[in-house]
A and B are shown apart, each in its own frame.
Chain A
Protein backbone atom coordinates (compact mmCIF):
# COMPACT_ATOMS: atom_id res chain seq x y z
CA UNK A 1 0.00 0.00 0.00
CA UNK A 2 1.32 3.44 -0.87
CA UNK A 3 1.94 5.66 2.13
CA UNK A 4 -0.50 8.47 2.96
CA UNK A 5 2.40 10.76 3.84
CA UNK A 6 5.72 10.47 2.12
CA UNK A 7 8.65 12.61 3.19
CA UNK A 8 11.79 12.27 1.17
CA UNK A 9 15.19 13.79 1.78
CA UNK A 10 13.71 16.70 3.72
CA UNK A 11 16.14 19.26 5.09
CA UNK A 12 15.53 22.54 6.82
CA UNK A 13 18.14 25.19 7.41
CA UNK A 14 17.03 28.35 9.19
CA UNK A 15 18.26 31.79 8.22
CA UNK A 16 20.64 31.68 11.15
CA UNK A 17 22.35 28.68 9.55
CA UNK A 18 20.93 26.25 12.11
CA UNK A 19 20.13 22.91 10.49
CA UNK A 20 16.87 21.83 12.11
CA UNK A 21 16.29 18.82 9.85
CA UNK A 22 18.88 16.79 7.98
CA UNK A 23 17.71 14.56 5.15
CA UNK A 24 14.55 13.17 6.73
CA UNK A 25 12.90 10.19 5.03
CA UNK A 26 9.61 9.05 6.48
CA UNK A 27 6.55 7.18 5.23
CA UNK A 28 3.34 7.14 7.20
CA UNK A 29 0.91 4.31 6.54
CA UNK A 30 -2.78 5.08 6.19
CA UNK A 31 -4.72 4.39 9.36
CA UNK A 32 -1.80 4.05 11.73
CA UNK A 33 -0.94 5.95 14.87
CA UNK A 34 2.63 7.09 14.52
CA UNK A 35 4.43 8.53 17.51
CA UNK A 36 7.37 10.81 16.98
CA UNK A 37 9.63 10.93 20.00
CA UNK A 38 12.56 13.17 20.57
CA UNK A 39 14.09 15.53 23.08
CA UNK A 40 13.38 19.25 23.01
CA UNK A 41 14.77 20.93 19.93
CA UNK A 42 15.14 17.64 18.04
CA UNK A 43 13.07 18.95 15.10
CA UNK A 44 9.66 17.40 15.80
CA UNK A 45 7.70 20.62 15.51
CA UNK A 46 9.73 21.83 12.53
CA UNK A 47 8.94 18.60 10.70
CA UNK A 48 5.22 18.92 11.41
CA UNK A 49 5.23 22.62 10.50
CA UNK A 50 6.75 21.89 7.11
CA UNK A 51 4.33 19.05 6.35
CA UNK A 52 1.39 21.29 7.28
CA UNK A 53 2.55 24.31 5.27
CA UNK A 54 3.56 26.61 8.13
CA UNK A 55 7.26 26.56 7.32
CA UNK A 56 9.05 26.17 4.01
CA UNK A 57 11.33 23.20 3.36
CA UNK A 58 14.90 23.97 2.33
CA UNK A 59 15.30 20.73 0.43
CA UNK A 60 13.36 17.60 -0.28
CA UNK A 61 9.81 16.64 -1.15
CA UNK A 62 6.65 15.78 0.74
CA UNK A 63 3.44 14.34 -0.64
CA UNK A 64 0.16 13.84 1.16
CA UNK A 65 -2.14 11.25 -0.36
CA UNK A 66 -0.10 11.59 -3.56
CA UNK A 67 -0.41 15.40 -3.64
CA UNK A 68 2.78 17.44 -3.48
CA UNK A 69 2.54 19.88 -0.56
CA UNK A 70 3.75 22.80 -2.66
CA UNK A 71 2.54 22.21 -6.21
CA UNK A 72 -0.80 20.82 -5.09
CA UNK A 73 -1.13 22.45 -1.67
CA UNK A 74 -4.90 22.73 -1.70
CA UNK A 75 -5.51 19.01 -2.09
CA UNK A 76 -2.68 18.16 0.32
CA UNK A 77 -3.71 20.55 3.09
CA UNK A 78 -7.42 19.68 2.84
CA UNK A 79 -6.55 16.23 4.12
CA UNK A 80 -4.78 17.48 7.24
CA UNK A 81 -5.94 18.66 10.63
CA UNK A 82 -3.27 20.21 12.84
CA UNK A 83 -3.26 20.66 16.59
CA UNK A 84 -0.16 22.70 17.42
CA UNK A 85 1.71 22.47 20.65
CA UNK A 86 0.99 25.98 21.88
CA UNK A 87 -2.52 26.99 22.84
CA UNK A 88 -3.17 29.54 20.10
CA UNK A 89 -6.77 30.64 20.36
CA UNK A 90 -8.90 33.67 19.71
CA UNK A 91 -9.77 34.71 23.23
CA UNK A 92 -13.04 36.49 22.52
CA UNK A 93 -14.62 34.08 20.07
CA UNK A 94 -17.16 31.51 21.19
CA UNK A 95 -16.25 27.83 20.93
CA UNK A 96 -18.93 27.27 18.32
CA UNK A 97 -17.80 30.24 16.21
CA UNK A 98 -14.13 29.33 16.23
CA UNK A 99 -14.75 25.70 15.31
CA UNK A 100 -17.14 26.73 12.53
CA UNK A 101 -14.56 29.24 11.30
CA UNK A 102 -11.99 26.45 10.92
CA UNK A 103 -14.39 24.41 8.83
CA UNK A 104 -15.02 27.35 6.52
CA UNK A 105 -11.32 28.07 6.25
CA UNK A 106 -10.78 24.56 4.93
CA UNK A 107 -13.44 25.14 2.29
CA UNK A 108 -16.05 22.77 3.63
CA UNK A 109 -19.77 23.62 3.49
CA UNK A 110 -21.51 24.33 6.77
CA UNK A 111 -22.45 21.22 8.71
CA UNK A 112 -23.79 21.99 12.19
CA UNK A 113 -24.41 18.28 12.83
CA UNK A 114 -20.75 17.46 12.36
CA UNK A 115 -19.60 20.33 14.59
CA UNK A 116 -22.09 19.22 17.21
CA UNK A 117 -20.73 15.68 17.08
CA UNK A 118 -17.12 16.86 17.37
CA UNK A 119 -17.94 19.08 20.34
CA UNK A 120 -19.87 16.30 22.05
CA UNK A 121 -17.09 13.77 21.46
CA UNK A 122 -14.66 16.15 23.11
CA UNK A 123 -17.04 16.96 25.99
CA UNK A 124 -17.27 20.58 24.89
CA UNK A 125 -20.93 20.70 23.98
CA UNK A 126 -22.04 22.51 27.11
CA UNK A 127 -19.33 25.12 26.49
CA UNK A 128 -20.25 25.81 22.89
CA UNK A 129 -21.39 29.38 23.58
CA UNK A 130 -18.61 30.20 26.04
CA UNK A 131 -15.85 32.56 25.08
CA UNK A 132 -12.55 30.74 24.78
CA UNK A 133 -10.91 33.03 27.32
CA UNK A 134 -13.27 31.62 29.97
CA UNK A 135 -12.11 28.03 29.43
CA UNK A 136 -9.49 26.08 31.34
CA UNK A 137 -6.24 25.00 29.70
CA UNK A 138 -7.45 21.44 29.14
CA UNK A 139 -10.63 22.72 27.51
CA UNK A 140 -8.67 25.07 25.26
CA UNK A 141 -6.58 22.11 24.17
CA UNK A 142 -9.77 20.26 23.27
CA UNK A 143 -11.09 23.31 21.40
CA UNK A 144 -7.95 23.17 19.28
CA UNK A 145 -8.56 19.50 18.59
CA UNK A 146 -12.17 20.32 17.69
CA UNK A 147 -10.93 22.97 15.25
CA UNK A 148 -8.60 20.46 13.64
CA UNK A 149 -11.42 17.91 13.33
CA UNK A 150 -13.99 20.43 12.10
CA UNK A 151 -13.20 19.78 8.44
CA UNK A 152 -13.14 15.98 8.70
CA UNK A 153 -9.42 15.49 7.99
CA UNK A 154 -8.00 12.11 7.01
CA UNK A 155 -4.76 12.88 8.79
CA UNK A 156 -4.47 14.41 12.23
CA UNK A 157 -1.28 15.89 13.62
CA UNK A 158 -1.15 16.18 17.38
CA UNK A 159 1.89 18.09 18.56
CA UNK A 160 2.27 17.31 22.26
CA UNK A 161 -1.49 16.79 22.68
CA UNK A 162 -1.46 16.02 26.36
CA UNK A 163 1.19 18.44 27.61
CA UNK A 164 -0.18 20.07 30.73
CA UNK A 165 -3.32 17.95 30.74
CA UNK A 166 -4.30 16.06 33.88
CA UNK A 167 -4.24 12.28 34.01
CA UNK A 168 -7.95 11.73 33.65
CA UNK A 169 -8.26 14.09 30.73
CA UNK A 170 -5.26 12.46 29.10
CA UNK A 171 -6.96 9.10 29.24
CA UNK A 172 -10.05 10.70 27.72
CA UNK A 173 -7.97 12.13 24.94
CA UNK A 174 -6.42 8.74 24.19
CA UNK A 175 -9.95 7.44 23.91
CA UNK A 176 -10.77 10.13 21.34
CA UNK A 177 -7.63 9.28 19.38
CA UNK A 178 -8.54 5.59 19.31
CA UNK A 179 -12.05 6.38 18.13
CA UNK A 180 -10.59 8.49 15.34
CA UNK A 181 -8.27 5.69 14.32
CA UNK A 182 -11.21 3.31 14.24
CA UNK A 183 -12.92 5.78 11.90
CA UNK A 184 -9.92 5.52 9.55
CA UNK A 185 -8.02 8.66 10.50
CA UNK A 186 -4.24 8.49 10.35
CA UNK A 187 -2.69 10.04 13.43
CA UNK A 188 0.79 11.42 13.95
CA UNK A 189 1.59 12.53 17.45
CA UNK A 190 4.64 13.94 19.06
CA UNK A 191 5.02 13.52 22.74
CA UNK A 192 7.28 13.81 25.70
CA UNK A 193 5.26 11.27 27.60
CA UNK A 194 6.80 8.02 26.55
CA UNK A 195 4.00 6.10 28.22
CA UNK A 196 1.74 7.82 25.73
CA UNK A 197 3.66 6.45 22.77
CA UNK A 198 3.84 3.07 24.47
CA UNK A 199 0.11 3.11 25.07
CA UNK A 200 -1.08 4.54 21.76
CA UNK A 201 1.31 4.09 18.90
CA UNK A 202 1.46 1.42 16.23
CA UNK A 203 4.84 2.64 15.12
CA UNK A 204 7.44 4.80 16.72
CA UNK A 205 10.00 7.12 15.22
CA UNK A 206 12.77 8.69 17.22
CA UNK A 207 14.22 11.97 16.04
CA UNK A 208 17.32 13.56 17.49
CA UNK A 209 19.33 16.57 16.31
CA UNK A 210 17.34 16.78 13.09
CA UNK A 211 17.81 13.15 12.09
CA UNK A 212 15.48 10.22 12.33
CA UNK A 213 17.52 7.66 14.19
CA UNK A 214 14.92 4.94 14.39
CA UNK A 215 11.58 3.93 12.91
CA UNK A 216 10.08 0.68 14.09
CA UNK A 217 6.86 -1.09 14.93
CA UNK A 218 6.31 -0.54 18.59
CA UNK A 219 6.09 -4.24 19.39
CA UNK A 220 9.21 -5.07 17.39
CA UNK A 221 11.04 -2.19 18.96
CA UNK A 222 10.13 -3.27 22.44
CA UNK A 223 11.24 -6.80 21.67
CA UNK A 224 14.32 -5.92 19.69
CA UNK A 225 15.73 -3.59 22.19
CA UNK A 226 13.92 -5.18 25.10
CA UNK A 227 16.59 -6.14 27.57
CA UNK A 228 15.38 -7.96 30.61
CA UNK A 229 16.87 -7.94 34.01
CA UNK A 230 16.65 -10.71 36.58
CA UNK A 231 17.12 -9.74 40.21
CA UNK A 232 17.81 -12.48 42.74
CA UNK A 233 17.41 -11.82 46.46
CA UNK A 234 19.87 -13.90 48.43
CA UNK A 235 19.25 -15.65 51.73
CA UNK A 236 22.65 -14.69 53.10
CA UNK A 237 25.01 -11.86 52.40
CA UNK A 238 27.72 -12.31 49.76
CA UNK A 239 30.97 -10.40 49.98
CA UNK A 240 31.84 -11.05 46.33
CA UNK A 241 30.42 -12.91 43.37
CA UNK A 242 31.97 -16.41 43.41
CA UNK A 243 34.66 -16.98 40.81
CA UNK A 244 32.65 -19.82 39.24
CA UNK A 245 29.95 -17.34 38.24
CA UNK A 246 32.22 -14.77 36.60
CA UNK A 247 30.95 -15.48 33.06
CA UNK A 248 27.46 -14.25 33.92
CA UNK A 249 28.60 -10.68 34.65
CA UNK A 250 26.47 -10.59 37.75
CA UNK A 251 26.20 -7.36 39.62
CA UNK A 252 26.21 -7.54 43.36
CA UNK A 253 24.12 -5.00 45.25
CA UNK A 254 25.83 -2.72 47.77
CA UNK A 255 24.41 -4.57 50.75
CA UNK A 256 25.44 -7.91 49.26
CA UNK A 257 21.92 -9.32 49.50
CA UNK A 258 21.00 -9.28 45.81
CA UNK A 259 22.54 -9.96 42.41
CA UNK A 260 21.23 -8.81 39.07
CA UNK A 261 21.63 -10.55 35.74
CA UNK A 262 21.01 -8.92 32.33
CA UNK A 263 19.73 -11.11 29.55
CA UNK A 264 18.13 -10.73 26.17
CA UNK A 265 14.75 -12.27 25.38
CA UNK A 266 15.68 -12.23 21.71
CA UNK A 267 18.52 -14.72 22.16
CA UNK A 268 18.01 -18.48 21.78
CA UNK A 269 19.36 -19.07 25.22
CA UNK A 270 18.79 -16.66 28.05
CA UNK A 271 21.21 -18.51 30.31
CA UNK A 272 18.79 -18.43 33.20
CA UNK A 273 18.67 -22.18 33.77
CA UNK A 274 22.43 -22.60 33.85
CA UNK A 275 22.79 -19.54 36.07
CA UNK A 276 20.37 -20.99 38.60
CA UNK A 277 22.20 -24.34 38.45
CA UNK A 278 25.59 -22.74 38.89
CA UNK A 279 24.32 -20.66 41.79
CA UNK A 280 23.12 -23.78 43.54
CA UNK A 281 26.41 -25.52 42.88
CA UNK A 282 28.23 -22.53 44.34
CA UNK A 283 26.08 -22.83 47.44
CA UNK A 284 24.25 -19.55 46.96
CA UNK A 285 20.63 -19.79 48.16
CA UNK A 286 17.90 -17.64 46.74
CA UNK A 287 15.01 -16.19 48.74
CA UNK A 288 13.16 -14.33 45.98
CA UNK A 289 13.44 -13.32 42.35
CA UNK A 290 11.86 -10.86 39.93
CA UNK A 291 12.37 -9.84 36.32
CA UNK A 292 12.01 -6.44 34.77
CA UNK A 293 11.63 -5.52 31.10
CA UNK A 294 13.15 -2.22 30.04
CA UNK A 295 10.48 0.28 29.09
CA UNK A 296 10.33 2.40 25.99
CA UNK A 297 11.67 5.17 28.16
CA UNK A 298 14.87 3.26 28.84
CA UNK A 299 15.17 2.50 25.13
CA UNK A 300 14.56 6.11 24.25
CA UNK A 301 17.05 7.44 26.75
CA UNK A 302 19.70 4.98 25.62
CA UNK A 303 19.14 5.93 21.95
CA UNK A 304 19.26 9.65 22.49
CA UNK A 305 22.21 9.49 24.85
CA UNK A 306 24.21 7.33 22.45
CA UNK A 307 27.06 9.32 20.92
Chain B
Protein backbone atom coordinates (compact mmCIF):
# COMPACT_ATOMS: atom_id res chain seq x y z
CA UNK B 1 0.00 0.00 0.00
CA UNK B 2 1.18 3.49 -0.84
CA UNK B 3 0.03 5.01 2.46
CA UNK B 4 1.84 8.26 1.80
CA UNK B 5 -0.14 8.76 -1.38
CA UNK B 6 -3.43 8.06 0.39
CA UNK B 7 -2.43 10.54 3.07
CA UNK B 8 -1.43 13.12 0.45
CA UNK B 9 -4.79 12.89 -1.35
CA UNK B 10 -6.74 12.84 1.90
CA UNK B 11 -4.98 15.89 3.31
CA UNK B 12 -5.22 17.71 -0.01
CA UNK B 13 -8.97 17.18 -0.05
CA UNK B 14 -9.34 18.16 3.60
CA UNK B 15 -7.33 21.32 2.94
CA UNK B 16 -9.86 22.20 0.27
CA UNK B 17 -12.57 22.08 2.96
CA UNK B 18 -10.76 24.63 5.08
CA UNK B 19 -10.27 26.89 2.09
CA UNK B 20 -13.98 26.71 1.35
CA UNK B 21 -15.22 26.71 4.92
CA UNK B 22 -18.27 28.86 4.19
CA UNK B 23 -19.48 26.60 1.43
CA UNK B 24 -18.52 23.32 3.07
CA UNK B 25 -19.67 23.75 6.66
CA UNK B 26 -21.32 27.07 7.38
CA UNK B 27 -23.88 27.02 4.60
CA UNK B 28 -25.34 23.56 5.35
CA UNK B 29 -25.51 24.43 9.05
CA UNK B 30 -27.35 27.67 8.32
CA UNK B 31 -29.84 26.02 5.98
CA UNK B 32 -30.51 23.21 8.45
CA UNK B 33 -31.07 25.75 11.21
CA UNK B 34 -33.67 27.37 8.97
CA UNK B 35 -35.49 24.04 8.69
CA UNK B 36 -35.61 23.82 12.47
CA UNK B 37 -36.93 27.33 12.80
CA UNK B 38 -39.61 26.82 10.15
CA UNK B 39 -40.63 23.19 10.65
CA UNK B 40 -39.59 22.64 14.22
CA UNK B 41 -40.61 25.87 15.93
CA UNK B 42 -43.15 27.61 13.67
CA UNK B 43 -45.10 24.79 12.02
CA UNK B 44 -44.05 22.02 14.41
CA UNK B 45 -45.88 23.61 17.32
CA UNK B 46 -49.18 23.12 15.40
CA UNK B 47 -48.44 19.48 14.58
CA UNK B 48 -49.23 16.77 17.04
CA UNK B 49 -46.58 14.35 18.21
CA UNK B 50 -45.42 11.69 15.78
CA UNK B 51 -45.27 8.24 17.36
CA UNK B 52 -44.64 9.68 20.77
CA UNK B 53 -42.03 12.35 19.97
CA UNK B 54 -42.60 16.02 19.24
CA UNK B 55 -42.47 16.94 15.57
CA UNK B 56 -39.37 19.13 15.98
CA UNK B 57 -37.50 16.23 17.57
CA UNK B 58 -38.87 13.74 15.07
CA UNK B 59 -37.34 15.51 12.04
CA UNK B 60 -33.79 15.73 13.49
CA UNK B 61 -32.48 12.39 12.15
CA UNK B 62 -34.05 13.05 8.75
CA UNK B 63 -32.47 16.48 8.52
CA UNK B 64 -29.05 15.16 9.49
CA UNK B 65 -29.39 12.45 6.84
CA UNK B 66 -30.54 14.99 4.26
CA UNK B 67 -27.33 16.96 4.78
CA UNK B 68 -25.07 13.92 5.00
CA UNK B 69 -26.49 12.49 1.77
CA UNK B 70 -26.29 15.66 -0.28
CA UNK B 71 -22.93 16.76 1.12
CA UNK B 72 -21.34 13.33 0.66
CA UNK B 73 -22.37 13.35 -2.96
CA UNK B 74 -21.33 16.91 -3.66
CA UNK B 75 -18.00 16.63 -1.81
CA UNK B 76 -16.95 13.43 -3.48
CA UNK B 77 -18.24 14.25 -6.94
CA UNK B 78 -16.57 17.64 -6.95
CA UNK B 79 -13.38 16.22 -5.44
CA UNK B 80 -12.77 13.90 -8.39
CA UNK B 81 -14.49 15.97 -11.08
CA UNK B 82 -12.35 19.05 -10.49
CA UNK B 83 -8.96 17.40 -11.21
CA UNK B 84 -10.51 16.01 -14.37
CA UNK B 85 -11.80 19.45 -15.30
CA UNK B 86 -8.54 21.35 -14.73
CA UNK B 87 -6.36 18.47 -15.90
CA UNK B 88 -4.43 17.82 -12.69
CA UNK B 89 -5.75 14.25 -12.83
CA UNK B 90 -2.67 13.47 -14.95
CA UNK B 91 -0.59 13.40 -11.81
CA UNK B 92 -2.89 10.99 -9.97
CA UNK B 93 -2.96 8.66 -12.98
CA UNK B 94 0.82 8.72 -13.44
CA UNK B 95 1.58 8.14 -9.75
CA UNK B 96 2.51 4.71 -8.37
CA UNK B 97 -0.84 4.37 -6.69
CA UNK B 98 -3.57 1.76 -7.06
CA UNK B 99 -7.18 2.58 -7.83
CA UNK B 100 -8.15 1.30 -4.44
CA UNK B 101 -5.82 3.82 -2.82
CA UNK B 102 -7.19 6.66 -4.95
CA UNK B 103 -10.71 5.80 -3.82
CA UNK B 104 -9.70 5.61 -0.16
CA UNK B 105 -8.11 9.05 -0.42
CA UNK B 106 -10.98 10.83 -2.15
CA UNK B 107 -13.93 8.96 -0.67
CA UNK B 108 -12.34 8.91 2.78
CA UNK B 109 -11.96 12.68 2.77
CA UNK B 110 -15.48 13.28 1.42
CA UNK B 111 -16.99 10.91 3.99
CA UNK B 112 -14.98 12.50 6.82
CA UNK B 113 -16.31 15.90 5.89
CA UNK B 114 -19.92 14.82 5.80
CA UNK B 115 -19.64 12.88 9.06
CA UNK B 116 -18.20 15.96 10.77
CA UNK B 117 -20.93 18.04 9.18
CA UNK B 118 -23.62 15.57 10.33
CA UNK B 119 -22.35 15.81 13.91
CA UNK B 120 -22.25 19.60 13.74
CA UNK B 121 -25.84 19.68 12.50
CA UNK B 122 -26.82 17.29 15.26
CA UNK B 123 -25.23 19.62 17.81
CA UNK B 124 -27.00 22.57 16.20
CA UNK B 125 -30.30 20.68 16.44
CA UNK B 126 -29.63 20.25 20.14
CA UNK B 127 -29.91 24.01 20.50
CA UNK B 128 -33.48 23.98 19.15
CA UNK B 129 -35.01 20.76 20.45
CA UNK B 130 -34.23 18.28 23.23
CA UNK B 131 -32.23 15.36 21.84
CA UNK B 132 -31.91 11.85 23.17
CA UNK B 133 -30.01 9.14 21.35
CA UNK B 134 -30.98 5.62 22.42
CA UNK B 135 -28.30 3.75 20.49
CA UNK B 136 -25.29 6.03 19.94
CA UNK B 137 -23.17 3.24 18.46
CA UNK B 138 -25.82 2.36 15.90
CA UNK B 139 -26.35 6.03 15.23
CA UNK B 140 -22.66 6.40 14.37
CA UNK B 141 -22.71 3.17 12.37
CA UNK B 142 -25.57 4.41 10.19
CA UNK B 143 -23.93 7.81 9.87
CA UNK B 144 -20.59 6.37 8.75
CA UNK B 145 -22.14 3.77 6.44
CA UNK B 146 -24.32 6.39 4.78
CA UNK B 147 -21.48 8.88 4.45
CA UNK B 148 -19.17 6.30 2.88
CA UNK B 149 -21.86 4.89 0.59
CA UNK B 150 -22.96 8.24 -0.76
CA UNK B 151 -19.41 9.51 -1.06
CA UNK B 152 -18.75 6.49 -3.27
CA UNK B 153 -21.91 7.31 -5.19
CA UNK B 154 -20.69 10.92 -5.54
CA UNK B 155 -17.30 9.67 -6.73
CA UNK B 156 -19.07 7.71 -9.47
CA UNK B 157 -21.06 10.80 -10.49
CA UNK B 158 -17.86 12.86 -10.53
CA UNK B 159 -16.20 10.39 -12.88
CA UNK B 160 -19.26 10.07 -15.09
CA UNK B 161 -19.90 13.80 -15.36
CA UNK B 162 -18.27 15.55 -18.30
CA UNK B 163 -19.71 18.95 -17.50
CA UNK B 164 -20.91 20.96 -14.54
CA UNK B 165 -24.52 20.41 -15.53
CA UNK B 166 -24.24 16.65 -15.23
CA UNK B 167 -22.42 17.12 -11.94
CA UNK B 168 -25.48 18.91 -10.54
CA UNK B 169 -28.12 16.86 -12.32
CA UNK B 170 -28.18 13.67 -10.24
CA UNK B 171 -28.04 15.44 -6.84
CA UNK B 172 -30.72 17.96 -7.84
CA UNK B 173 -33.08 15.78 -9.83
CA UNK B 174 -32.71 12.41 -8.14
CA UNK B 175 -31.20 12.59 -4.69
CA UNK B 176 -32.98 15.65 -3.30
CA UNK B 177 -36.48 14.44 -4.28
CA UNK B 178 -35.75 10.95 -2.97
CA UNK B 179 -34.57 12.42 0.31
CA UNK B 180 -37.58 14.68 0.72
CA UNK B 181 -39.92 11.81 -0.14
CA UNK B 182 -37.92 9.39 1.99
CA UNK B 183 -39.46 10.32 5.29
CA UNK B 184 -37.21 13.16 6.43
CA UNK B 185 -40.21 15.21 7.52
CA UNK B 186 -42.84 12.54 8.11
CA UNK B 187 -43.33 8.94 9.06
CA UNK B 188 -44.03 6.69 6.13
CA UNK B 189 -46.86 5.22 8.23
CA UNK B 190 -48.69 8.55 7.90
CA UNK B 191 -49.18 7.93 4.17
CA UNK B 192 -52.16 6.16 2.60
CA UNK B 193 -51.30 2.51 1.99
CA UNK B 194 -50.87 2.84 -1.80
CA UNK B 195 -48.33 5.63 -1.44
CA UNK B 196 -46.67 3.78 1.36
CA UNK B 197 -45.94 0.85 -0.96
CA UNK B 198 -44.48 3.16 -3.58
CA UNK B 199 -42.39 4.93 -0.97
CA UNK B 200 -40.84 1.63 0.05
CA UNK B 201 -39.17 1.54 -3.36
CA UNK B 202 -37.19 4.60 -2.32
CA UNK B 203 -33.83 3.49 -0.90
CA UNK B 204 -33.51 6.64 1.19
CA UNK B 205 -36.48 5.52 3.31
CA UNK B 206 -34.39 2.69 4.71
CA UNK B 207 -31.47 4.96 5.58
CA UNK B 208 -33.61 7.51 7.39
CA UNK B 209 -35.72 4.89 9.10
CA UNK B 210 -32.69 3.07 10.50
CA UNK B 211 -31.05 6.28 11.53
CA UNK B 212 -34.21 7.49 13.29
CA UNK B 213 -34.51 4.15 15.06
CA UNK B 214 -31.06 4.66 16.59
CA UNK B 215 -32.40 7.89 18.12
CA UNK B 216 -35.94 7.08 19.24
CA UNK B 217 -36.47 3.38 18.57
CA UNK B 218 -39.22 4.25 16.10
CA UNK B 219 -38.86 2.98 12.57
CA UNK B 220 -40.88 2.66 9.38
CA UNK B 221 -39.16 -0.59 8.43
CA UNK B 222 -37.17 -3.07 10.50
CA UNK B 223 -33.64 -2.07 11.49
CA UNK B 224 -32.19 -5.20 9.94
CA UNK B 225 -33.77 -4.31 6.62
CA UNK B 226 -32.39 -0.76 6.88
CA UNK B 227 -28.93 -2.05 7.54
CA UNK B 228 -29.20 -4.60 4.75
CA UNK B 229 -30.36 -2.02 2.21
CA UNK B 230 -27.58 0.39 3.17
CA UNK B 231 -24.98 -2.36 2.90
CA UNK B 232 -26.49 -3.44 -0.42
CA UNK B 233 -26.20 0.05 -1.84
CA UNK B 234 -22.63 0.31 -0.55
CA UNK B 235 -21.71 -2.93 -2.32
CA UNK B 236 -23.41 -1.80 -5.53
CA UNK B 237 -21.34 1.41 -5.49
CA UNK B 238 -18.15 -0.56 -4.83
CA UNK B 239 -18.87 -2.83 -7.78
CA UNK B 240 -19.41 0.16 -10.08
CA UNK B 241 -16.22 1.86 -8.87
CA UNK B 242 -14.27 -1.37 -9.42
CA UNK B 243 -15.67 -1.56 -12.95
CA UNK B 244 -14.77 2.09 -13.63
CA UNK B 245 -11.18 1.51 -12.70
CA UNK B 246 -10.88 -1.79 -14.46
CA UNK B 247 -12.03 -0.29 -17.72
CA UNK B 248 -10.59 3.19 -17.19
CA UNK B 249 -14.06 4.59 -17.96
CA UNK B 250 -13.92 8.38 -18.45
CA UNK B 251 -10.45 8.43 -16.88
CA UNK B 252 -8.12 6.83 -19.36
CA UNK B 253 -8.17 6.60 -23.09
Contacts and interface: CB of A to CB of B under 8 A. Distances in A.
Interface of A: 14-15, 49, 52-56, 73-78, 80, 82, 84, 86, 88-93, 97, 101-109, 147
A55 B86 contact: no
B61 to A, nearest CB: 35
20 contacts: A56-B253, A73-B96, A74-B2, A74-B97, A74-B98, A77-B95, A80-B94, A82-B90, A86-B87, A88-B86, A104-B5, A104-B8, A104-B11, A105-B8, A105-B91, A105-B95, A106-B96, A107-B4, A107-B5, A109-B4
B82 to A, nearest CB: 9
B5 A106 contact: yes
Residues of B contacting A: mostly: helix
Contacts, number: 77
Interface residues of B, number: 26
A78 B15 contact: no
B21 interface: no
The 4 closest A-B pairs by CB, nearest first: A104-B8, A88-B87, A74-B96, A77-B96
Interface of B: 2-5, 7-9, 11-12, 15, 19, 86-88, 90-98, 248, 252-253
Contact of B7 (A54, A88, A89, A104): A104
Contacts of A108: 4
Identify the interface centre among A73, A80, A105: most chain B CB within 10 Å of its CB. A105
B109 to A, nearest CB: 13
A104 B253 CA distance: 26
B19 A55 contact: no
Given A104-B7, A107-B5, A89 B88 contact: yes
A135 to B, nearest CB: 15
A107 B87 contact: no
A89 B8 CA distance: 16
Nearest to B97: A105
A61 B4 CA distance: 29
Contacts of B91: 82, 88, 102, 105, 147
B95 to A, nearest CB: 4
Nearest to A72: B96
A14 B96 contact: no
Contacts of B11: 104
Contacts of B92: 105
B5 to A, nearest CB: 5
A92 B19 contact: yes
Contacts of B8: 101, 103-105
A44 to B, nearest CB: 15
Given A54-B94, A104-B7, A105-B8, A90 B88 contact: yes
A306 to B, nearest CB: 29
B96 A78 contact: yes
Contacts of B98: 74
Given A77-B94, A106-B95, A90 B86 contact: yes
Contacts of A74: 2, 96-98
Contacts of A54: 90, 93-94, 252
Given A101-B12, A104-B8, A52 B94 contact: yes
A75 B93 contact: no
A143 to B, nearest CB: 12
A88 B96 contact: no
